[in-house]
């Protein structure tokens, strides 16, 4: 019978392990899903009629780990504080602690086994506890030798009525009724189950579940995917890979185009720089007047003035007669200033002088405005050696 029970338990553990791999996230580290707790209670011989008189107080410390939401293990050490008449009437007088025991248990969460695990513990759960222990008796030599043994192997079967408490379900309060058999000595060799060598127990305990690497104090469930979903996800991944490759190709093409454009821009920039250098050189060259088209008369101005003096209308009259005699002539009037003073003011002054002569030809001598143009040439000292002679307006026939 015991072999059958062990076989069933082994199959259940294996089945649960397979299920856990697909429905519950595996523990990431060895330290996940451990708990520690204390308990206390009493035991009495199963066949004893005077229960309250022969209660055997006990207290213990339990450390355990859940391997899956259904199966786990625990190690417990406890001490008893009274005589133990429930084991063949043996009494261990003379010590405060009458016996100590170390137990190794398997644990089964029946609520999760039959009801499934939904990602966090239920408020109330039923948990089976079963395992073996090694008990040592204390007291006087005569008491310990009464039945010629000091140690015994035990077997405990119990059921925990468990309450998971706290916002994170990190605490467990349980009430544990059970029965414990003394398997040896019985002939001191072969273990046997005998109700007369058993005790009924009831413990009350409190466990604390340590924090896990998943951020909780318990197991987390993982979403299940069937093969169709997996195939669909793989297809989406392949499609995304194809799109990513296409985008990478477009990016490479754009990069190549940008490189070509950069080369073109660099070439244009070099051309622009060359043209700018040529323009700067031209600007730095002195302004010259074409002598072959110049008309000889010039109009002199006083320093800083653009008003035509009375004696300077004679050269203007000569130009007017010239234009009347040459109907196709078009005259460009160029105003100049001597180099003294601010260049900007000299530029404005030279333009005003050219405008003054143009207006005189139009208003006084009746020359058509479309045959005349006026340009301010700014300051110069190149026309005449005498500085003051450069404050003039000159005439140039643009048709010749």
Residue 383 has what pLDDT? 83
Residues of the chain with pLDDT under 70: 1-23, 48-53, 82-95, 139-149, 185-189, 222-226, 282-293
Pairing relationship of beta strands 124-137 and 294-300 according to DSSP bridges = unpaired
CATH code for the structural domain at 291-397? 3.30.1330.60
Are 172 and 185 contacting, i.e. CB atoms less than 8 angstroms apart?
no
CATH code for the structural domain at 2-209? 2.40.160.20
45-57: buried (b, 16+ CB within 10 Å) or exposed (e) per residue? bbeeeeeeebebe
Residue 137 has what pLDDT? 77
Domain residue extents for the chain: 2-209, 291-397
Are 383 and 336 contacting, i.e. CB atoms less than 8 angstroms apart?
yes
Residue 223 has what pLDDT? 62
CA distance 86 to 26: 44
Are 44 and 56 contacting, i.e. CB atoms less than 8 angstroms apart?
yes
**Whether the model pTM is above 0.75:** no
Residue 80 has what pLDDT? 84
CB atoms within 10 A of CB 377: 20
- Residue 329: name the closest of 344, 343, 318, 345 by CA: 318
Percent of the chain at pLDDT exceeding 70: 81
Are 336 and 390 contacting, i.e. CB atoms less than 8 angstroms apart?
yes
Query: Over the stretch 34-47, which tens digit does the pLDDT of each residue have?
Result: 999 999 999 888 88
Residue 140 has what pLDDT? 53
């Amino acid at each position: 019978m015991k072999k059958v029970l062990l076989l069933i338990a082994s199959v259940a553990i294996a089945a649960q392990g397979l299920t856990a791999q697909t429905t519950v996230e595996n523990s990431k580290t060895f330290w996940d899903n451990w708990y520690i707790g204390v308990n206390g209670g009493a035991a009495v011989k199963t066949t004893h009629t005077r229960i309250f008189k022969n209660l055997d107080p006990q207290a213990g410390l339990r450390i355990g780990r859940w391997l899956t939401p259904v199966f786990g293990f625990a190690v417990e050490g406890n001490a008893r504080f009274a005589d133990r008449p429930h084991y063949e009437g043996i009494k261990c007088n003379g010590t405060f602690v009458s016996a100590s025991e170390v137990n190794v248990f398997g644990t089964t969460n029946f609520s999760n086994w039959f009801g499934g695990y939904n990602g966090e513990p239920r408020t109330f759960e039923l948990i089976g506890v079963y395992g073996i222990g090694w008990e040592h008796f204390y007291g006087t030599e005569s008491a310990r030798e009464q039945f010629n043994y000091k140690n015994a192997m035990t077997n405990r079967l119990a059921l925990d009525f468990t309450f998971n408490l706290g916002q994170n379900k990190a605490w467990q309060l349980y009430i544990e009724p059970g029965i414990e058999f003394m398997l040896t000595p019985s002939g001191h060799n072969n273990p046997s189950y005998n109700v007369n060598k058993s005790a009924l127990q009831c413990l009350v305990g409190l466990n604390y579940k340590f924090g896990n690497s998943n951020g909780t104090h318990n197991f987390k469930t993982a979403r299940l995917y069937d093969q169709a979903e997996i195939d669909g996800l793989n297809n989406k991944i392949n499609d995304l890979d194809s799109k990513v490759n296409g985008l990478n190709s477009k990016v490479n093409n754009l990069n190549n185009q940008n490189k070509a454009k950069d080369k073109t821009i660099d070439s244009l920039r070099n051309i622009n720089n060359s043209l700018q250098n040529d323009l700067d050189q031209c600007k730095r060259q002195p302004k010259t007047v074409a002598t072959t088209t110049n008309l000889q008369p010039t109009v002199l101005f006083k320093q800083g003035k653009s008003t035509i003096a009375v004696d300077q209308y004679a050269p203007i009259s000569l130009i007017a007669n010239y234009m009347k005699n040459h109907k196709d002539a078009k005259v460009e009037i160029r105003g100049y200033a001597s180099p003294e003073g601010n260049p900007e003011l000299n530029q404005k002054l030279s333009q005003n002088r050219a405008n003054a002569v143009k207006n005189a030809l139009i208003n006084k001598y009746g020359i058509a405005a479309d045959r005349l143009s006026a340009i301010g040439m700014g300051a110069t000292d190149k026309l005449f050696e005498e500085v003051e002679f450069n404050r003039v307006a000159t005439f140039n026939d643009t048709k010749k």
